């Protein structure tokens, strides 16, 4: 199968997957108790059950679930993701407004993760079982184990309150594309990047270590190639396949956003909006963000598959 056909097939497969995702998410949202009207009225002694029913009817939340789903999916097909009940905002408007914030943060964190992970992973593999390797393992374990919210709060405490290099609140009046914003991405970026760096680093190290034991490496060394060339030209390229797969999968988190980090750093992204949506039982917004993220995750996996072929032409798409 040609790469083009493979991509086409995978893109088309998005449709049934998204349909499945939408059905499951819609069902899950409706299985959890409470709906937007419950959140809207809270505990209000002035509201009778009939008043509630009236509100529910007004917002189209009174029919059976399947009927609500059909209405919703019908609108989605025509490009209308619906509105948020509490504020009347369009779901697509919210996604559009929040996405750049999340992507900026996610990209920075992702880049930071790769920047740290790849050299450290290579170094750990080269210095296998030596102090550097143990130290990198310790760091990786710490990176995976430290909860994001704690690391975020610690970075705020140190970077903002003790050293005073960063404000606690990001400068929201500045456009996101302003170069100055790079500075404010550092702390949340480090927080996000640390966890992904840890996993990439371990994969990099294991994969490199495996390659180092192979015969072609011995042959390269026997040829008298300098160690630097052996590692960076031969071993690194062959080790990158699994790292690329992982890194490509992690790109999905660029869009999905980091809920905790966005909360702690007051970053108005998609993750924070998603949590609000769940708390408020904003069905349309939950569905909209889920579908959007679903598309991106599928595309990220597709990207990983394509990169496979680029890095290793032996891989075939059957």
Partner 1 sequence: MVQDPKQSDQAINRRTLLQGVGGAGVVAVAGCLGDDDDSDAPFQLQLEVNADNSDRVQMVELIAASLEDTGYFETEIETYEWNTYTGRVLDTEYAQNGYIPCIGLSGTFNPESFCNALHHSDNHGQCCNLVGVDDAELDDMMDDARYGMEVSEDPDLRRERYDDVWHHLAENRYSSITHFDLQTAVTSTDVHGFDMWPFAEGMFSYALYSPQEEQVAWIDRDNEASEDADLSDIEEGGTLHGAIAANVDGFDYPYTSDTTSSMSQFFIYEALTASDSEGNVYPWLAESYDILDTQDIDRLAYEDYMITVDADEEGALDTEEQIIVQHPEDDPIGDDEVRVLTPEEASDAVDDGVFGMQFRYELREGVEFHNGEELTAEHVVASYERYENSDISAQTFDSVLHAREVDEYTVDVYAQVPDAEAERELPIYIYSLEQADMEGGAVDPREGVTPVGTGPYELDDFSDEEYVEYTKFDDYWVEQQGVDSIDWFDGSSEFPDGPVVERVELEIVPDDATRSGALQNNEVDITYGLATSTLDDFEASDDYIVHGVETGGYEYIQYPLHVEPWDDERLREAVNHLIPRQQIVDNVLNGWARPAWTDLPELAHGTGTVDHDALEDEIRPYNEYDQERAEELLEEVVEDHDLN
Least distance (Å) between residue 226 CB and partner 1: 51
Q: Which is nearer to partner 1, 238 or 266 (CB)?
A: 266
Give the interface segment with partner 1, choosing from 93-101, 107-115, 184-192, 305-313 (CB under 8 A). Answer: 93-101
Give the residue, chosen from 202, 205, 234, 272, that forms a contact with partner 1 under the rule CB under 8 A: 272
Give the residue, chosen from 3, 154, 168, 310, that forms a contact with partner 1 under the rule CB under 8 A: 168
Does residue 164 interact with partner 1 by CB under 8 A? yes
Does residue 54 interact with partner 1 by CB under 8 A? yes
Q: Which is nearest to 124 in space by CA: 137, 134, 133?
A: 133
Give the interface segment with partner 1, choosing from 105-113, 167-175, 188-196, 226-234 (CB under 8 A). Answer: 167-175
Give the residue, chosen from 16, 33, 64, 224, that forms a contact with partner 1 under the rule CB under 8 A: 33
Size of the site for partner 1 (CB under 8 A): 50
Does residue 266 interact with partner 1 by CB under 8 A? yes
46 CB burial (10 A radius; 0-12, 13-18, 19+): exposed
Q: Which is nearer to partner 1, 211 or 273 (CB)?
A: 273
Give the residue, chosen from 13, 75, 87, 229, that forms a contact with partner 1 under the rule CB under 8 A: 87
Give the residue, chosen from 16, 64, 79, 88, that forms a contact with partner 1 under the rule CB under 8 A: 88
Give the interface segment with partner 1, choosing from 16-24, 161-169, 235-243, 304-312 (CB under 8 A). Answer: 161-169
Does residue 80 interact with partner 1 by CB under 8 A? no
Write out the chain in H/E/C secondary structure. Answer: CCHHHHHHHHHHHHHHHHHHHHHHHHHHHHHCCCCHHHHHHCCCCCCCHHHHHHHHHHCCCCCCHHHHHHHHHHHHHCCCCCECCCCCCEHHHHHHHHHHHHHHHHHHHHHHHHHHHHHHHHHHHHCCCCHHHHHHHHHHHHHHHCCHHHHHHHHHHHHHHHCCCCCCCCCCCCCCCCCCHHHHHHHHHHHHHHHHHHHHHHHHHHHHHHHHCCHHHHHHHHCCCCHHHHHHHHHHHHHHHHHHHHHHHHCHHHHHCCHHHHHHCCCCCHHHHHHHHHHCCCHHHHHHHHHHHHHHHHHHHHHHHHHHHHHCCCCCCC
Does residue 174 interact with partner 1 by CB under 8 A? no
Residues 6+ away with beta carbon under 8 Å from 249: 300, 301, 304
Give the residue, chosen from 48, 67, 71, 142, that forms a contact with partner 1 under the rule CB under 8 A: 48
Give the interface segment with partner 1, choosing from 5-13, 42-50, 181-189, 196-204 (CB under 8 A). Answer: 42-50
Measured CA to CA, the distance from residue 247 to residue 243 in angstroms comes to 6
Does residue 105 interact with partner 1 by CB under 8 A? no
Least distance (Å) between residue 276 CB and partner 1: 7
* Positions in the binding site for partner 1 (CB under 8 A): 32-34, 38, 40, 43-58, 62, 86-89, 93-94, 97-98, 153, 156-157, 160-161, 164, 167-169, 172-173, 263-266, 268, 272-273, 276, 281
């Amino acid at each position: 199968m040609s790469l083009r056909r493979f991509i086409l097939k995978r893109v088309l497969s998005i449709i049934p997957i998204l349909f499945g995702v939408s059905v499951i998410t819609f069902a899950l949202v409706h299985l959890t108790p409470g709906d937007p009207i419950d959140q809207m009225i809270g505990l209000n002694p002035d509201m009778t059950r009939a008043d509630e029913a009236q509100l529910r009817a007004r917002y189209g939340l009174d029919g059976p679930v399947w009927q609500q789903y059909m209405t919703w999916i019908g609108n989605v097909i025509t490009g209308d993701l619906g509105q948020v009940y509490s504020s009347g905002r369009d779901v697509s408007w919210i996604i559009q407004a929040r996405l750049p914030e999340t992507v900026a943060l996610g990209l920075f964190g992702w880049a930071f993760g790769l920047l740290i992970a790849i050299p450290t992973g290579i170094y750990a593999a080269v210095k296998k079982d030596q102090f550097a390797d143990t130290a990198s393992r310790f760091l990786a374990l710490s990176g995976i184990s430290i909860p994001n919210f704690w690391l975020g709060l610690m970075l705020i405490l140190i970077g903002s309150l003790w050293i005073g290099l960063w404000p606690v609140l990001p400068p929201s009046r500045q456009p996101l594309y302003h170069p100055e914003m790079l500075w404010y991405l550092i702390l949340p970026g480090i927080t996000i990047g640390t966890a992904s760096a840890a996993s990439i680093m371990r994969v990099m190290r294991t994969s490199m270590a495996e390659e180092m034991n192979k015969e072609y490496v011995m042959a390269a060394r026997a040829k008298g190639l300098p160690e630097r060339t052996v590692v960076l030209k031969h071993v690194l390229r062959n080790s990158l396949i699994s790292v690329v797969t992982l890194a490509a999968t992690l790109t999905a988190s660029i869009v999905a956003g980091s809920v905790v980090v966005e909360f702690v750093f007051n970053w108005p992204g998609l993750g924070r909006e998603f949590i609000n949506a769940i708390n408020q039982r904003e069905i349309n917004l939950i569905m909209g963000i889920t579908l959007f993220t679903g598309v991106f995750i599928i595309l990220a996996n597709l990207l990983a598959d394509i990169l496979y072929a680029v890095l290793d032409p032996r891989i075939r798409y059957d």
